[in-house]
Amino acid sequence: MNINFNDTIAAISTPKGSGGIAIIRISGGAAIDIAAQFCQCNIPLPRAKSWRVYLGKFYFSGEKLAEQQQSTYDQVLITIFRAPNSYTKEDIVEISCHGGEYIAESILRSLIQGGARLAMPGEFTLRAFINGRIDLVQAEAVADLIKSQNDLALQNSNRQLEGFLSTMIENFRNRLVETISLLEVELDFAEEDLEFTSRDKILELLNEIIQSIQKLIGSFSREKLVRQGVKVVLAGKPNVGKSSVLNAMLSENRAIVTDIPGTTRDVLEETVNIHGINFRLFDTAGIIESRDPVEIEGIRRTKMNIQDADILVMIFDGSQNLTAEDEAIFQLIRQFRDSKKIVIVINKSDLPNAIDKIDFKEFDSTIDLLKISALNSSGLEDLSTLLVSYLDDLKSQVTDEFILTNIRHKNALEKGLASIQHAKNSIVNKLSGEFVVSDLKIAFDYLGELTGVITSEEILNNIFSNFCIGK
Ligand SMILES: Nc1nc2c(ncn2[C@@H]2O[C@H](COP(=O)(O)OP(=O)(O)OP(=O)(O)O)[C@@H](O)[C@H]2O)c(=O)[nH]1
Ligand SMILES: [Mg+2]
């Protein structure tokens, strides 16, 4: 990476293009002096107070020059954050200018002529990490926060930024140190063949750590729920109105609807936002015994998506009597009733009823049943409300805890876990304490890599090259 952290850096922190305002950030020992060359405020910037905003003019060709000749400027707001009470723990100046691309770029160009260097992607956050303001998983949380697409993702990243995950990892490491020191005391007296702490006590300590790490790794299985939103699969026999329900929920004619059974052949995905949460709706090919290779492939895809769903909306045509073909759908409901949220939807309620709740009595009280009409949109509100309530259930499994969403974290935890399990086996097999200690130290280091206590240029490069410039 070869970055010089003694440089003072500058970047435009707002997105490219024009907007209401743009913000240029400068961080480093010379930040205030560099900005002062260009800014005219009611007091000279070097005397400005920390955490204050000053109204002033930014002269593109420098303040001194401006005294002699008319110089181009923009009226700006200048915020000063003095070290160490700033994002990077260095002096920071933030210049809020009018949000024109030309203005922001001119200001940046001036600052660079004045002695600043263009910041690398994520360098402000990298400096926050290097200067000990946040650890590595907190730095990664900043990137996740910016990418968040829904409330759940935002809450989870905020928790990570506040140090929820860091504290858990530090706790694992502390418990490892505790175990290692118990074992090391013994090793010091090895010749006397003493056993200070019972092996059962050590095993108990390790089992506790193993369980906590396994639980954390297990939360990664819900990572998609956080990052992408809730997966809702609309499934049923052909022609029951799956595509019509999708269109009605989106309020647009996204999917092709015809009265010909087998219209939808491939899986179609669209997102609706209900109460701040993204629901990813999947319209699927109708499930039926088929010989048509295209239909067979469509149905295979339907079933794959059903496997992967958080919520299944099983749709029936309320205007037709149930037939043998419905048995396949009943079968799927039985298969997934314990592992997924399922709602049975009887569609086409605008037509005379041919089936009713009684036909579904097998699922009484365990599975919700709704009558709707995709044609005139009746019952759709109830369906949305039900989906949100399911999400509340899914969320309540996770809100107290934390959901691991970063594959780097999962990998490091898995490596650490494997070493701890190895250590445990050594104890069970009555191997020498030295082997146990060595494995536990390896685990300790893997967990240290996570928070960045131990780090390499490669890891930092991987993480920060994915940041935007100016963050
Ligand atoms: N009366 C009435 N007709 C509906 C309703 N929903 C869908 N239909 C009609 O039912 C037929 C099939 O609708 P689709 O939405 O294509 O059904 P599908 O389940 O997606 O069908 P496939 O893609 O073939 O599996 C169309 O003619 C729709 O207009 C409804 O609520 N009421
Ligand atoms: Mg369809």
Question: Which residue's CA is minimally distant from atom 27 of ligand 1?
Answer: 259
Euclidean distance between CA atoms 144 and 405, whole angstroms? 9
If you measure from the C-alpha of residue 240 to the centroid of ligand 1, how many angstroms do you get, rounded to a whole number? 5
Structural domain boundaries in the chain: 9-135, 145-220+406-452, 229-396
Euclidean distance between CA atoms 244 and 252, whole angstroms? 10
Q: Is 247 in the pocket of ligand 1 (CB under 6 A)?
A: no
**Cα–Cα–Cα angle for 267, 248, 351, rounded to 5 degrees:** 105
Euclidean distance between CA atoms 232 and 314, whole angstroms? 10
Q: Is 348 in the pocket of ligand 1 (CB under 6 A)?
A: yes
Euclidean distance between CA atoms 407 and 220, whole angstroms? 8
If you measure from the C-alpha of residue 280 to the centroid of ligand 1, how many angstroms do you get, rounded to a whole number? 20
If you measure from the C-alpha of residue 246 to the centroid of ligand 1, how many angstroms do you get, rounded to a whole number? 10
If you measure from the C-alpha of residue 277 to the centroid of ligand 2, how many angstroms do you get, rounded to a whole number? 25
Atom of ligand 1 nearest to the CA of 373: 31
Per-residue pLDDT of the chain (471 residues; tens, 9 = 90+): 678 899 999 999 999 999 999 999 999 999 999 999 999 999 999 999 999 999 999 999 876 666 666 679 999 999 999 999 999 999 999 999 999 999 999 999 999 999 999 999 999 999 999 999 999 999 999 999 999 888 888 989 999 999 999 999 999 999 999 999 988 887 777 666 666 677 888 999 999 999 999 999 988 988 888 888 899 999 999 999 999 999 999 999 999 999 999 999 999 999 998 877 789 999 999 999 888 999 999 999 999 999 999 999 999 999 999 999 999 999 999 999 998 999 999 999 999 999 988 899 888 878 999 999 999 999 999 999 999 998 877 766 655 678 999 999 999 999 999 999 999 999 999 888 899 999 999 999 999 999 999 888 888 988 998 888 888
Atom of ligand 1 nearest to the CA of 238: 25
Nearest Cα residue to 22 out of 106, 136, 88: 106
Euclidean distance between CA atoms 60 and 117, whole angstroms? 17
Residue 168: CB atoms within 10 A of its CB come to: 21
Nearest ligand to the C-alpha atom of residue 260: 1
Nearest ligand to the C-alpha atom of residue 237: 1
Q: Is 262 in the pocket of ligand 1 (CB under 6 A)?
A: yes
Question: Which residue's CA is minimally distant from atom 17 of ligand 1?
Answer: 241
pTM for this one? 0.79
Question: Which residue's CA is minimally distant from atom 25 of ligand 1?
Answer: 238
CB 280 within 8 A of CB 269: yes
CB 74 within 8 A of CB 58: yes
Provide the token pair at 82. Answer: 């003095």
Backbone angles phi, psi at 211, to 5 degrees: -65, -45
If you measure from the C-alpha of residue 302 to the centroid of ligand 2, how many angstroms do you get, rounded to a whole number? 12
DSSP H helical segments within 2-114, as ranges? 31-36, 63-68, 101-113
CATH number 3.30.1360.120 given to 9-135? yes
**Ligand 1 mutation target, pool 239, 287, 346, 376, most atoms within 8 A of CB:** 239
Euclidean distance between CA atoms 383 and 349, whole angstroms? 14
pLDDT at 366 (0 to 100): 85
CB 45 within 8 A of CB 78: yes
Nearest ligand to the C-alpha atom of residue 286: 1
DSSP H helical segments within 232-344, as ranges? 242-250, 293-307, 326-336
The matching CATH number, chosen from 1.20.120.430, 3.40.50.720, 3.30.360.10, 3.30.70.270, for 145-220+406-452 is: 1.20.120.430
CB 352 within 8 A of CB 377: no
Euclidean distance between CA atoms 41 and 77, whole angstroms? 9
Euclidean distance between CA atoms 244 and 372, whole angstroms? 11
Q: Is 125 in the pocket of ligand 1 (CB under 6 A)?
A: no
Q: Is 380 in the pocket of ligand 1 (CB under 6 A)?
A: no
User: Would you mind telling me the total number of residues written for the chain in this entry?
Assistant: 471
Atom of ligand 1 nearest to the CA of 239: 21
If you measure from the C-alpha of residue 243 to the centroid of ligand 1, how many angstroms do you get, rounded to a whole number? 7
pLDDT at 190 (0 to 100): 64
Strands 268-274 and 52-59: what pairing? Answer: unpaired
DSSP for 235-259, written as a single string = EESTTSSHHHHHHHHHTS--S---S
Question: Which residue's CA is minimally distant from atom 10 of ligand 1?
Answer: 241
Q: Is 405 in the pocket of ligand 1 (CB under 6 A)?
A: no
Nearest ligand to the C-alpha atom of residue 347: 1
CB 203 within 8 A of CB 424: yes
**Ligand 1 mutation target, pool 244, 266, 383, most atoms within 8 A of CB:** 244
Atom of ligand 1 nearest to the CA of 283: 20
Whole-number CA gyration radius for the chain: 30
Backbone angles phi, psi at 30, to 5 degrees: -100, 10
Question: Which residue's CA is minimally distant from atom 16 of ligand 1?
Answer: 257
If you measure from the C-alpha of residue 89 to the centroid of ligand 2, how many angstroms do you get, rounded to a whole number? 57
Euclidean distance between CA atoms 391 and 230, whole angstroms? 8
Nearest ligand to the C-alpha atom of residue 238: 1
CA-based torsion, 24, 28, 31, 32: positive or negative: positive
Euclidean distance between CA atoms 429 and 407, whole angstroms? 33
CATH code of the domain made up of 229-396 = 3.40.50.300
Question: Which residue's CA is minimally distant from atom 7 of ligand 1?
Answer: 241
Long-range pairs, 63-66, Cβ under 8 A, ≥24: 63/36, 63/37, 63/38, 63/39, 64/37, 66/40
**Ligand 1 mutation target, pool 257, 268, 325, most atoms within 8 A of CB:** 257
Nearest ligand to the C-alpha atom of residue 298: 1
CB 440 within 8 A of CB 426: no
Q: Going edge to edge, which strands form the sheet with 230-236?
A: 268-274, 277-283, 230-236, 311-317, 341-347, 368-371
φ/ψ bin of 241: left (φ > 0), alpha (ψ from -120 to 50), beta (otherwise):
left
| Residue 85: exposure state from Cβ atoms within 10 A (0-12, 13-18, ≥19) | exposed
